[in-house]
């Protein structure tokens, strides 16, 4: 939780680092409820063993992990940093992340029914997620303690923590920007039909609108009511404001 006190402002392409704003960040709790918890028939991802749902929403998180590399210095490379021919070294010390295995570990936590579906409460909890390397020479097996202690003990703590430093600013657990898809119809009710029910044989549809709207939830720092905020007595919900960032109408065809 201490990490949440540090937040570098984002000013390009525009100032989006408003208080409590998480625009552009990927939510760690990406599994869609309830559909993401259903058992699908699409099989497993390569290198994984747990069955996945037929409906997935992990594209954004894959994009965050794609550019991050993990480092491992094996115990046999104790003189690797002192060689006179560094360009002649063929051993790879950095590996891309195995996206399938890493996401499998995250979903195993998110779908743990015995623990009441433990969601990520803070973005800093990404530091508790094991980042599996994709290169075969960094194969973890099933024991992380053995991996770091017996095989890659020369890896400094700074390099073990570095991947999380890249990921943490790009993830959140409190999304504030949503895209709402809508289908709205203007209906003319027939006489004698219930006002709260639609009868397709008697009622008429006069018009229809299909589209989407991107809505941002934010807190106005100039709101005088914030001075009365008490986290022990009040919920933050009443201080949220909403604005429509973008709308799009779909073709009727």
Most confident range (mean pLDDT) of 14-28, 30-44, 45-59, 97-111 is 97-111
Q: Does residue 188 sit in the same domain as residue 110?
A: no
Name the nearest CA neighbour of 22 among 158, 142, 173.
173
What average pLDDT is seen over the chain?
Answer: 84
Higher pLDDT, 93 or 112: 93
Considering the domain architecture, whether residues 143 and 187 belong to the same structural domain is answered as: no
Q: 97 with 206, same domain?
A: no
Residue 173 token pair: 């657990």
Whether residues 147 and 208 share a domain: the answer is no
Range of the domain at 199: 177-249
Burial 32-55 (b: 16+ CB within 10 A, else e): eeeebeeeeeeeebeebeeebbee
- Of 172, 201, 231, the last residue of a domain is 172
Q: Per mean pLDDT, which range of 97-101, 151-155, 236-240 is the poorest?
A: 236-240
- Residue 125's pLDDT band, with cuts at 50, 70 and 90, is very high
Q: Are residues 58 and 142 in the same domain?
A: yes
Q: What's the pLDDT score for residue 81?
A: 60
* DSSP line for 192-210: TS-TTS--TTT-EEEEEEE
In which residue are the tokens 């073709």 written? 251
Do 241 and 117 lie in one domain? The reply is: no
Per-residue CA distances from 150 to 41, 157, 226 (Å): 39, 15, 53
Please check whether residues 152 and 37 belong to one and the same domain: yes
Confidence of residue 83 (pLDDT cuts 50, 70, 90): low
Q: Are 156 and 193 found together in one domain?
A: no
Looking at the fold, whether 157 and 181 belong to one and the same domain comes out as no
pLDDT at residue number 210: 95
Domain boundary among 121, 154, 172: 172
- The pLDDT, as a whole number, for residue 176 is 87
Residues 50, 23 share a domain = yes
The helix/strand/coil state of 245 is strand
Q: Please give the average per-residue pLDDT across 90-103, as a whole number.
A: 89
The mean per-residue pLDDT over the stretch 41-54 comes to 74
Confidence of residue 119 (pLDDT cuts 50, 70, 90): confident
Predicted pLDDT of residue 102: 93
> How sure is the predictor about 19, in pLDDT bands with cuts at 50, 70 and 90?
low
pLDDT given at position 169: 87
pLDDT in tens, 164-187: 999 998 999 988 888 899 999 999
Residues 73 and 182 in one domain: no
Give the end of a domain, one of 137, 172, 207: 172
pLDDT at position 43? 63
What's residue 70's pLDDT? 94
pLDDT at residue 189 above 80?
Answer: yes
Is the domain of 183 the same as that of 159? Answer: no
149 backbone dihedrals φ, ψ, rounded to 5°: -80, -45
* CA-to-CA dists, residue 213 to 143, 181, 182, 241, 243, angstroms: 46, 7, 8, 16, 10
Average pLDDT of the segment spanning 64-74: 93
Query: Is pLDDT of 148 > 70?
Result: yes
For the chain, the domain total comes to 2
CA distance 87 to 228: 62
pLDDT above 70 for 124:
yes
């Amino acid at each position: 939780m201490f990490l949440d006190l540090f937040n570098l402002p984002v000013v390009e392409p525009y100032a989006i680092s408003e208080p409590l704003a998480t625009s552009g960040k990927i939510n760690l709790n990406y599994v869609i409820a309830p559909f993401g918890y259903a058992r699908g028939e699409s099989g497993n991802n390569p290198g994984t063993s747990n069955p996945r749902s037929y409906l997935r929403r992990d594209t954004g998180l894959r994009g965050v992990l794609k550019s991050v590399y993990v480092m491992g210095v094996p115990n046999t490379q104790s003189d690797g940093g002192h060689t006179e021919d560094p360009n002649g070294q063929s051993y790879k010390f950095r590996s891309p992340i195995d996206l399938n295995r890493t996401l499998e570990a995250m979903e195993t936590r998110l779908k743990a029914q015995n623990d009441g579906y433990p969601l990520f409460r803070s973005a800093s909890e990404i530091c508790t997620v094991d980042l599996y390397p994709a290169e075969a020479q960094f194969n973890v097996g099933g024991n992380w303690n053995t991996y770091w202690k017996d095989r890659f003990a020369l890896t400094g703590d700074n390099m073990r923590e570095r991947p999380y430093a890249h990921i943490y600013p790009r993830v959140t657990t409190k999304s504030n920007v949503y895209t709402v898809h809508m289908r709205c119809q203007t209906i003319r009710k027939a006489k004698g039909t219930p006002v709260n029910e639609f009868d397709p044989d008697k009622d008429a549809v006069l018009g229809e609108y299909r589209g989407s709207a991107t809505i941002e939830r934010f807190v106005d720092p100039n709101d005088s009511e914030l001075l009365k905020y008490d986290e022990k007595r009040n919920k933050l919900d009443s201080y949220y404001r909403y604005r429509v960032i973008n709308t799009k109408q779909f073709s009727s065809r």
